[in-house]
Amino acid sequence: MLAHFRSITGMTILIRDAIESDLPRILDITNDAIANTTAVWNMTPATLATRHAWLIERRARKYPVLVAIDADGTVLGFASFGDFRPFEGYLHTVEHSVYVDNTARRRGIGVALIQALFPRAEELGKHVMIAGIEAGNQISIDLHAKLGFVETGRLPQVGRKFDRWLDLVFMQRILGRNPA
């Protein structure tokens, strides 16, 4: 899967499936989010081994891991989805994640990555895509609303990071194709 788009700054970006050599940059972006944001509620940095196992697990389930790269081949962000919950009744629902390097945010890369996930989910017979977002992350909430996600719930104080309680907002988008 290859897709080109022009970022807000006019830069041409390529979105493609991740390969093993992308993992160090995926790791850097992940660990920056862990250390500096509430986008992910882990406190322990990821390792190259855990990111590699994650990539293998996603591939085994036919779930995409997409990267956005610039003209130099530098990974600027990544996105993926996985099972929402591990029960048969949720078979047609996935939860996605998207992370963009802190130097490349607000250029449309996150939007393009999420949009690239939609057809991949539909090809797998998925019906709903879920986003779990920290309630204070208005930029992410607005980005998802722009892409057709609607808020479906708020869970107050279900997480803790940086010595404060965090609220979780669930947003969902019903995808274009019914499950098989």
State how far the Cα of 116 lies from the Cα of 96, in Å rounded to an integer: 12
Residue 179 lies in a domain: no
In the chain, % of residues over pLDDT 70: 93
Residue 180 lies in a domain: no
pLDDT tens-place string over residues 97-117:
999 999 999 999 999 999 999
**Alpha helices, DSSP H, located in the chain:** 23-36, 48-60, 109-123, 138-146
State how far the Cα of 140 lies from the Cα of 40, in Å rounded to an integer: 12
At residue 8, the pLDDT reads 62
Residue 133 lies in a domain: yes
Provide the pLDDT confidence category of residue 180 given band limits of 50, 70 and 90. very low
Nearest Cα to Cα of residue 64 among 96, 30, 105, 99: 96
- Model confidence at 144: pLDDT above 50: yes
At residue 176, the pLDDT reads 83
pLDDT tens-place string over residues 70-81:
999 999 999 999
Give residue 145's domain range: 2-174
Domain count, the chain: 1
Cβ proximity of 158 and 122 under 8 Å: no
Residue 51 lies in a domain: yes
- Model confidence at 1: pLDDT above 80: no
Count the Cβ atoms, other than its own, within 10 Å of residue 149.
22
Count the Cβ atoms, other than its own, within 10 Å of residue 44.
8
Q: What is the residue type of 129?
A: M
Whole-model pTM: value is: 0.93
Provide the pLDDT confidence category of residue 160 given band limits of 50, 70 and 90. very high
State how far the Cα of 65 lies from the Cα of 8, in Å rounded to an integer: 23
pLDDT tens-place string over residues 114-131:
999 999 999 999 999 999
At residue 6, the pLDDT reads 65
At residue 10, the pLDDT reads 76
Residues 91-125: b if buried by 16+ CB within 10 A, e if exposed:
ebbbbbbbbbbeebeebbbbbbbbbbbbebbbebe
Provide the pLDDT confidence category of residue 179 given band limits of 50, 70 and 90. very low
CATH of the domain at 157: 3.40.630.30
Residue 13 lies in a domain: yes
Is residue 13 within a helix (H) or strand (E), and if so which, with residue range? strand 12-17
- Model confidence at 3: pLDDT above 70: no
